[in-house]
Amino acid sequence: MTPEERTAQLEGYFRQVRDIIEAEDFWERVPERAREFSPENLEGLVKFAYFGGFIDMAGVRRLLMVDKPTARHLLVKWYEEVREQGCWLC
């Protein structure tokens, strides 16, 4: 997969997770700075959707295109971030 193809696929996943969050009526809790596509914003939306209970770990792996060990690492990182900074759900 070329870098352009990967970026296009990630943008599609961004739209998918945005649609999931909108369907749950939580889009208004997403900060303005995170509402446009970037890899960092995609991760933020996926984290929000995961902690909101809108997707499971398989969804995290699919939407971020990562393997299980990477997903586990992200989960540990996310829990630390939520402990330190809170989250959009708070």
pLDDT tens digit sequence for 9-30: 999 999 999 999 999 999 999 9
> Which parts of 24-85 fold into alpha helices (H)?
39-51, 57-64, 68-85
Residues contacting 35, CB < 8 A, separation 6+: 18, 41
At how many degrees (to 10) do helices 57-64 and 39-51 cross? Answer: 170
- In angstroms, rounded to a whole number, what is the distance separating the alpha carbons of residues 18 and 39? 13
- In angstroms, rounded to a whole number, what is the distance separating the alpha carbons of residues 48 and 52? 6
Q: Is the pLDDT of residue 89 over 70?
A: no
- In angstroms, rounded to a whole number, what is the distance separating the alpha carbons of residues 67 and 72? 9
What pLDDT, in 10s, does the model give residues 35-87? 999 999 999 999 999 999 999 999 999 999 999 999 999 999 999 998 888 77
pLDDT attached to residue 86 = 77
> In the structure encoding, which two tokens stand for residue 83, read together?
């402990």
